[in-house]
Structure 1
Amino acid sequence: MAKNKFHEGSGPSQRQLRVGETIRRALSEVLARADVHDPELNAMSITVGEVRTSPDLKIATAYVLPLGGRGQEDVIELLARNKSELRRLVARKLTLKFSPDLRFRLDRTFDQMDETRRMLAQDVVRRDANAADDDDADDAR
């Protein structure tokens, strides 16, 4: 049985990262310039935090968030509704042989950062962190 070049857990390749960033920039520009023929979508300010591509570059998943965080479900619906036009507009800015299929997901990065800050602010965690810092200082002496 032959091993798959893209085995699970290996992380994205440099090409995937480069193409994902190129798509992120192109999609951000298209959304910022309101190039889409949908007034509802053009009325929203949308942040494209990251774009991840499949190993074969046929699927690009964009992680997005409306400015201010309001209307999160609406933004996913609007982007999905305009997926074909967005794909065409983004493809014009790419130098790829094929334009990837666009998929949209909510960017939960900010939620995760807020949760981490909340956890680090807890008295128990601060006490343990301070105790670890004190132990490291004692070890350094």
Structure 2
Amino acid sequence: MESTRQKKISRLLQREISEIFMREAKSLTLGTMVTVSKVRISPDLGLARAYISIFPTGKRDEVYSEIEAHTSGIRRHLGMRVGKQLRVVPNLQFFVDDSLDYIDNIDRLLKD
């Protein structure tokens, strides 16, 4: 069960990481659209798991490996943005959110 503080920080991190992907880290996205669908933060606020959707899905593996390789730079940009609001900037882990693909697959199966 997430506390109110965890929920607030998760929303803040989701918004700021999305802004980073749109502005500072455009080179990492390789011309794709990267959205942060959810951020979950640990109870000690030391680890944030960000779930990202990558569209179009053709370059998903390339973009994900670029993001993974530059996680420390993304965390540095995040620290510059939320440094006044958080005492410690959490470590970041990125996961590919494939729920949109799952929904698309179900729709396609139901239409047949």
The alpha-carbon deviation at position 14 of structure 1 amounts to: 1.7
Aligned residues: CA RMSD? 2.2
Aligned residues: 109
**2:99 counterpart (95, 104, 109):** 109
User: What residue number does 1:86 align with?
Assistant: 74
Q: SS at 1:70's partner residue? A: helix
**2:86 counterpart (66, 73, 96):** 96
Cα distance between partner residues in 1 of 2:22 and 2:38: 16
Inter-CA distance 14–113: structure 2 relative to 1 (3 Å threshold): farther
Unaligned runs of 5+ in 1: 1-10, 124-141
Higher relative contact order (CA 8 A, sep 6+): 2
Q: Could you give the per-residue CA deviations for residues 13-50 of structure 1, whole angstroms, max 9, x where no partner exists?
A: 221111111111111111101x14x83x1533311111
Structure number with the higher strand fraction is 2
Q: Where do residues 1-141 of structure 1 align in structure 2 (5 Å cutoff)?
A: 11-33=1-23, 35-36=24-25, 39=27, 41-44=28-31, 45-94=33-82, 95-117=85-107, 121=110
Inter-CA distance 55–31: structure 2 relative to 1 (3 Å threshold): same
Q: SS at 1:96's partner residue? A: coil
Q: Could you give the per-residue CA deviations for residues 101-139 of structure 1, whole angstroms, max 9, x where no partner exists?
A: 0100001221332344456x389xxxxxxxxxxxxxxxx
- Percent identity (aligned): 29
Cα distance between partner residues in 1 of 2:36 and 2:51: 6
Q: SS at 1:55's partner residue? A: coil
8 Å CA contact 2:29–2:63 kept in 1: the answer is no
Q: Which runs of 4+ in 1 moved over 4 A?
A: none
TM-score, normalised to structure 1's length?
0.67
